[in-house]
């Protein structure tokens, strides 16, 4: 059960970071932050949930990490191609502004 929750957490937490990564210059400081901040959050989740760091958990968390990043970047690309306004680097703020 803990591995399933960890996998879902890794996927969901990476969606906003993938969205952010789509709007920054490659290999900039922000680019590296969008990749490494979720890693820190996943490590903290592992520590506090008691999931541990077994090799088996990597088979689930690594793909969910990349799928979350990919999903976020696809959301950004879809919004950009549709001419969505506002369009910033923050998915959460863009969703809040849409609903106002």
* HEC-encoded secondary structure of 15-62: HHHHHHHCCCCCCCHHHHHHHHHHHHHHHHHHHHHCCCCCHHHHHHHH
Which residue ranges make up each domain of the chain? Answer: 2-98
Q: How many other CB atoms sit within 10 Å of the CB of residue 14? A: 27
Walking along the chain (100 residues) 10 residues at a time, the average pLDDT comes out as 91 96 94 96 92 88 97 94 84 82
């Amino acid at each position: 059960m803990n591995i399933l929750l960890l996998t879902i957490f890794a996927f969901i937490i990476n969606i906003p970071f993938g969205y952010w990564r789509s709007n920054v210059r490659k290999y900039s400081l922000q680019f590296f932050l969008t990749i490494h901040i979720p890693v820190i959050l996943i490590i903290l989740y592992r520590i506090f949930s008691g999931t541990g760091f077994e090799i088996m958990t990597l088979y689930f968390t690594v793909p969910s990490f990349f799928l979350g990043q990919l999903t976020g970047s696809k959301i950004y690309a879809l919004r950009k191609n549709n001419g969505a306004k506002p369009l910033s680097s923050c998915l959460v703020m863009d969703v809040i502004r849409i609903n106002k």
